[in-house]
Amino acid sequence: MDSILQILRSLKISQLAGPLLIILILTMMVLPLPPVLLDIFFTFNIAVSVIVLLVGINVRKPLDFSSFPSVLLVTTLLRLSLNVASSRVVLLEGHTGPDAAGKVIESFSHFLVGGNVAIGIVVFVIITIINFVVITKGAGRIAEVSARFTLDAMPGKQMAIDADLNAGLIGEDEARKRRSTIAEEANFFGAMDGASKFVRGDAMAGIMIILINIIGGLIVGVVQHDLPVGQAAETYTLLTIGDGLVAQIPALIISTAAGIVVSRVGTDQDMSEQFLTQLFTKPQVLYITSAVIGMIGLIPNMPHLSFLLIAGALLALARTMEQRHQRELAREQQAALPPPAPEQQGAEVSWNDVQHVDQLGMEVGYRLIPLVDRTQDGELLRRIRGIRKKIAQDLGFLVPPVHIRDNLEIKPNAYRILLKGVELGKGEAYIGQFLAINPGRVSKEIAGNATTDPAFGLPAVWIDAGKREEAQSLGYTVVDASTVVATHISNLLQTHAAELLGREEVQALIDHQAKESPKLIEDLVPKVVPVGTLQKVLQQLLNDGIHIRDFRTIIETLADHLPANQDVDELTSTVRTALSRVIVQQLFPGEAELPLMTLEPALENVLMQAVQSKAGGGLEPGLAENLLSSAAQQTEQVEIQGYNPVLLTAPGLRPLLARFLRRALPQLRVISHNEIPDNKSIRIIAVIGGSKG
């Protein structure tokens, strides 16, 4: 006994509710029920149908009521079992009076049809036709078509999910959830297609049951209970009609709910909200409808009161909607207006008073405004867009946009280029004139306004447009004003690329790479490779003049070495080694033998000892001066020979020498022995600190 009680306690009531309900329904078909229980069950059936209807009205998409096919089956079985139970009672006790089958059937047979047999039959047939021909058939057709379209669309939806997953737009959990939703949609509409047959069968069974009950009632009343034919026909027909109406009205409600559920289009609104927002919120439609109904109401012999009453109500609703729209539009316009400026005295300080610093900016004098004015087709704007595109292609990241503004405090023809609010460079340009740059081999100087090329520091002259051909014939490089400014901007952006690579630009790089290699980014950034460390390594590469287009190799190399080493210089050296082919290709495109400069062995040993003794610190002043002087002399000689000056040194010296020589000799690049690919040979063309080799 105790074990049985424990088993009962372990079972949840919710798990027993379904089996008990089905058993109860099947039992009602076999065992006779007293009229009191019939009243309770008929009332329960009506209540369930109303609940199903209200739930169907309030769902936002069909899958919110995914149990509806099972609900249809259960409610259909419940109605049929009640029909069987009530038919048994009607045939057994119908001769005793109109309340023989309970008060519910009596009320429906007298109140709804007024005790009139003919009216009862007509009403029952009409309700059955509406349920069977209109609602049930339409809902079944919608479910059938929806199931077919859902099944046809499944492969495309699955491919879309796989594409989003491969692109990194969604994760595994989201993909699994979407696949489950697609399968549920197909199962739901397929089940609804089959469940609609239950309702149609229920309607046909109702017609057959009422005919059987009327004929059976006549036989039982006349043969067994000796009732007159007229009295037996009236008594049993009324009871049968009441029984049929009690069953068919909930069936009509359930069929309506089925039609509502399968015809729903998934939105964030339920049916009531959709009706109100889509039917009664357009004043123009309501005005026209009011006018049409009003004109019909003015026709002679028409019911003026009802038509004019409805027309007036629609007119009032249209006016209310129009006033609401006007208020909403006024609020939107008010919100779009800038806030009123506070009075000068007593105004509180706010964040609006803090001036924003542009990442990259440019200020121009008023005479240069036509170069940057969109309305005047400013040539410089197009050139700046081209510069940003070229730098993005060369370096591998998108530099911030250049924010341009005029400044009346500088000279009319002057301009300034700013990085984070700090001046990087400045110059002057003259619209309508050309800058003749002397590359060092002109045959004769030309008259004009002498100046210096702002980008490369070469001597130059501003000349009028008429002297352009003469300057070119003399060997000058002649460019217009917009080209001068654009070249200056391009040179500064290339030089300060590392400072332009902020955390936001690095994150944009990561997001872009995630589209092509979602798994790589998901596994490594920022789990293994912190964004801050990645930014510092990328900045060092840019400082060394190396592009970062091979972003994937950089991340993979950092991921392999970060767990064992956190030093940024050493990590950068490791990445440079991984990018050795890129570096050599960038410095010596297409060359199998690399012409390189090197350090005199004695000087290299001294530098190595200095680095080791000072742990990467600075050099002694005398040693630094001699090194710089010799490097400048050899670099000039190498450039005269037509070679690209590149210094080859030991891996431990490369970071120190690169930082030391970068400012004085920006054209001199420093690489280490580890950065020479195996398929390249080297040729020493100059030795710093010694004689030429």
Report residue 608 as tokens. 């190595």
Report if residue 116 sits inside a domain: yes
| Stretch (H or E) spanning 530 | none
Sequence-distant (≥ 6) Cβ neighbours of residue 608 within 8 angstroms: 650, 652, 653
269-274 mean pLDDT: 62
> pLDDT-derived band of residue 61, with 50, 70 and 90 as boundaries?
confident
Domain housing 451: 360-497
Beta partners for residue 198, in sequence order: none
Question: Has residue 424 got a pLDDT over 80?
Answer: yes
Q: Are residues 258 and 399 in the same domain?
A: no
Question: Has residue 461 got a pLDDT over 60?
Answer: yes
Q: Name the residue with higher pLDDT: 560 or 57.
A: 560
> pLDDT-derived band of residue 40, with 50, 70 and 90 as boundaries?
confident
pLDDT at 96: 67
d(CA 394, CA 516): 19
Single out the residue in 527, 553, 587 at which a domain terminates: 587
Q: Are residues 605 and 491 in the same domain?
A: no
Report if residue 161 sits inside a domain: no
pLDDT at 10: 52
pLDDT at 22: 75
Summarised one tens digit per residue, pLDDT across range 465-519 is 889 888 988 889 999 999 899 999 999 999 999 999 989 889 989 988 888 888 8
Report residue 50 as tokens. 């109303």
Q: Name the residue with higher pLDDT: 136 or 650.
A: 650
pLDDT at 102: 67
pLDDT at 5: 47
Summarised one tens digit per residue, pLDDT across range 170-222 is 667 777 887 887 777 777 777 776 766 776 677 677 777 777 777 777 777 77
92-102 mean pLDDT: 66
Backbone φ and ψ for 363, nearest 5 degrees, come out as -115, 135
Report if residue 350 sits inside a domain: no
Backbone φ and ψ for 685, nearest 5 degrees, come out as -110, -10
Question: Has residue 268 got a pLDDT over 60?
Answer: no
Q: Are residues 513 and 630 in the same domain?
A: no
d(CA 180, CA 157): 12
Report if residue 380 sits inside a domain: yes
Residue 122's Cβ-side half-sphere holds a number of Cα atoms within 13 Å equal to 7
Q: Are residues 25 and 124 in the same domain?
A: yes
pLDDT at 436: 93
Count of domains forming the chain: 5
pLDDT at 684: 93
> pLDDT-derived band of residue 691, with 50, 70 and 90 as boundaries?
very low
Contact by Cβ (8 Å): 576, 583: yes
Report if residue 66 sits inside a domain: yes
Question: Has residue 128 got a pLDDT over 80?
Answer: no
pLDDT at 129: 77
Backbone φ and ψ for 526, nearest 5 degrees, come out as -100, 20
Summarised one tens digit per residue, pLDDT across range 516-525 is 888 888 888 8
Q: Are residues 251 and 149 in the same domain?
A: yes
Report if residue 98 sits inside a domain: yes
Q: Are residues 144 and 198 in the same domain?
A: yes
Q: What is the 3-state secondary structure (H, E, C) of 297-334?
A: HCCCCCCHHHHHHHHHHHHHHHHHHHHHHHHHHHHHHH
d(CA 251, CA 269): 27
Q: Residues 646, 647, 651, 654: is their CA dihedral positive or negative?
A: negative
Report if residue 337 sits inside a domain: no
Report if residue 196 sits inside a domain: yes
> pLDDT-derived band of residue 669, with 50, 70 and 90 as boundaries?
very high
3-class DSSP assignment, residue 55: helix
Q: Are residues 231 and 256 in the same domain?
A: yes
pLDDT at 648: 95
18-28 mean pLDDT: 73
CATH number of domain containing 620: 3.40.50.12790
CATH number of domain containing 395: 3.40.30.60
Q: Are residues 457 and 517 in the same domain?
A: no
Q: Are residues 675 and 660 in the same domain?
A: yes
443-466 mean pLDDT: 91
In order, the DSSP letters of 132-158 are: IIIIIHHHHHHHHHHHHHHHHHHHHHH
CATH number of domain containing 577: 1.10.8.540
pLDDT at 277: 65
pLDDT at 462: 95
Q: Are residues 232 and 85 in the same domain?
A: yes
Backbone φ and ψ for 596, nearest 5 degrees, come out as -130, 155
Question: Has residue 382 got a pLDDT over 90?
Answer: no
CA dihedral 68, 58, 41, 113 (to 10 degrees): -110
The rounded mean pLDDT for the chain is: 80
Apex 581 CA angle, 576 and 587, nearest 5: 90
79-86 mean pLDDT: 79
> pLDDT-derived band of residue 670, with 50, 70 and 90 as boundaries?
very high
Question: Has residue 536 got a pLDDT over 50?
Answer: yes
Summarised one tens digit per residue, pLDDT across range 288-338 is 888 888 888 788 877 778 878 888 888 888 888 788 877 777 666 665 555
pLDDT at 315: 85
pLDDT at 585: 92
pLDDT at 489: 93
> pLDDT-derived band of residue 343, with 50, 70 and 90 as boundaries?
very low
Single out the residue in 587, 622, 637 at which a domain terminates: 587
Spatial CA neighbour of 658 closest among 674, 647, 643: 647
> pLDDT-derived band of residue 692, with 50, 70 and 90 as boundaries?
very low
Single out the residue in 562, 587, 612 at which a domain terminates: 587
Beta partners for residue 682, in sequence order: 594
Q: Are residues 506 and 556 in the same domain?
A: yes
pLDDT at 94: 64
100-110 mean pLDDT: 68
Q: Are residues 220 and 320 in the same domain?
A: no
